[in-house]
Amino acid sequence: MARKKTAAAKKNQAKKLHLSANRKYKDTVFRMLFADKSNLLSLYNAMSGSDYHDPSKLQIITLENAIYIGMKNDLAFVIGTNLFLYEHQSTYNPNMPLRNLFYISSEYQKMVDSNKLYSSTLLEIPAPHFVVFYNGTTKQEDSWYNYLSDSYHNFSGIPDLELKVVTLNIIQVERM
């Protein structure tokens, strides 16, 4: 004979069955969509106003689950002599310049032969560009910049190290 569940048992079972939202799904969709070079090239063309047709011109260099350094980024790629770091955020994060500093440092370390750092020859690296695609509701502007120097404690003057990140608000707001 089956036992009837008590109200407390039913409540516990309901808690176990409760599904919580996966806050990373938007990030995962963004990463999956633009991991395809044709899609990424289309996004790059839209962002830059260029008209590239050959996806093989892109070299995707995204940090993939770099556990040993405790970070990963959404999209990183090189095209021509430029390196682009694209991030997708659904919450406002004023620390994106600092995060991008870590990402770009890691990318450059992978690109450069460390033995050549001490040579008398200048090492050329791709010029970095940092873009965040924001679809949250906290910030309402169409776009804005965040700067690494905003993080400097009690700083005034011209910073010796700067990093600028442009954030584009991609939410389409229906206007009445």
Residue 5 tokens read as: 């569940």
What proportion of the chain, given as a percentage, has pLDDT over 70?
Answer: 76
In angstroms, the Cα distances linking 150 to 110, 119, 154, 157 are 28, 34, 10, 12
Give the model confidence (pLDDT) of 80-129 as tens digits. Answer: 999 999 999 999 999 999 999 999 999 999 999 989 999 999 999 999 99
Please give the model's pTM, rounded to 2 decimal places: 0.78
With a cut of 70, list the residues of the chain below it in pLDDT: 1-27, 63-71, 172-176
Q: At what angle do helices 25-35 and 37-48 cross, to 10 degrees?
A: 100
Cα 73 from Cα 133, distance rounded (Å): 13
For residue 66, give the DSSP letter: B
Helix (H, G, I), strand (E, B) or coil at 18: coil
